[in-house]
Amino acid sequence: MDQQGSPPQPSSPVRVYLVDDHELVRQGLRSVLSDCPGIEVVGESATAAEAARRIPAVHPDVAILDVRLPDGSGVDLCRQIRRRDPSIRALVVTGYDDDTAREAATRAGASGFVLKQIRARHLVADVLTVAAGGTVEDVRSPDPRGRPGPEDVALRSLTHRERRVLDLVAEGLTNGEVGCRLGIREKTVRNHVSNVLAKLGVTSRTQAAVLRVRHTDGPGWASA
């Protein structure tokens, strides 16, 4: 992942458990997530039964669950895990978009429902968001009418300076470090950050940084 598009890292690694019956899929997920210093893969299972036994013992921050498993469903597993330990967050992944499965996952207590076609950096951002107590949904497919979504519109409403500040926040810089990089006072940076949060409709720097990662492709967006 390039540094420009990286979400800020948590103070301690987010512990993730993988559940998918395809070994290659688990390998791919493990490879992507292990590349992020803010994430640690602490276990994996190929079946719902094994996962139901091991996840409570390992106690991960986030469990990534395939919606279809050979001995059950990721949705039922999510419900079981969350009933036993609500502090474990669940991210349900699937190879196909299905509104019924999406709604079932939400009712089961999942914090997110995403497609397996998700880009690596988006998956990392989603895991960090879920671990921080947020919710995510894979809505990155282009609008069928060609119109940008509300989050894209909000990002485009930022001024050039606000975009530069958000870029640096997404790199994990503090207000003081952002000020040094841009040659402005820390108080001015705080004002810019407050404006960014208000325009994006979020309440934290992490949420703003995740939106930046999910809806923009790189540093070139700042000059758009």
The reported pLDDT for the residue numbered 219 is 44
CB atoms within 10 A of CB 170: 24
Confidence class of residue 182 from pLDDT cuts 50, 70 and 90?
very high
**pLDDT in the model for residue 215:** 60
Q: What is the pLDDT of residues 48-86, one digit of tens each?
A: 999 999 999 999 999 999 998 999 999 999 999 999 999
For range 180-200, the mean pLDDT: 94
Contacts of 101 (CB under 8 A, 6+ apart): 67, 75, 92, 94, 113
Question: Boundaries of CATH 1.10.10.10 in the chain?
Answer: 150-223
With a CB cutoff of 8 Å and minimum separation 6, the contacts of 32 are: 120, 123, 124
* Residues of the chain above pLDDT 70, percent: 82
Residues 134-163 have a mean pLDDT of 70
Model confidence band, residue 3 (pLDDT cutoffs 50, 70, 90): very low
Architecture of the domain made up of 150-223: Orthogonal Bundle (1.10)
Length of the chain: 224
- Which residues have CB under 8 Å from 16's CB, separation 6+? 33, 39, 40, 41, 42, 60, 61, 62, 63, 64, 127
SS3 percent helix, strand, coil of the chain, rounded to 5, is 50, 15, 35
Query: What does residue 21 show for φ and ψ, rounded to 5 degrees?
Result: -80, -10
User: Taking 50 as the threshold, does the pLDDT of residue 112 lie above it?
Assistant: yes
pLDDT score, position 143: 44
Residue 22's pLDDT is: 83
Average pLDDT, the chain: 83
CA-nearest of 174, 178, 168, 160 to 7 is: 168
Angle between helices 186-200 and 160-170 (to 10 degrees): 90
Around Cβ 61, how many Cβ atoms within 10 Å? 22
- For the chain, residues classed under CATH 3.40.50.2300 are 3-137
Q: What is the pLDDT of residue 149?
A: 58
Residues 6+ apart with CB under 8 A from 44: 17, 18, 19, 20, 26, 30
Residue with tokens 């009418």, as numbered in its chain? 145
The mean per-residue pLDDT over the stretch 31-55 comes to 93
The model's pLDDT over 193-221, given as tens digits with 9 standing for 90+, comes to: 999 999 988 888 877 876 776 665 444 45
Average pLDDT over residues 43-47: 96
- Homologous superfamily (CATH) of 3-137 is Response regulator (3.40.50.2300)
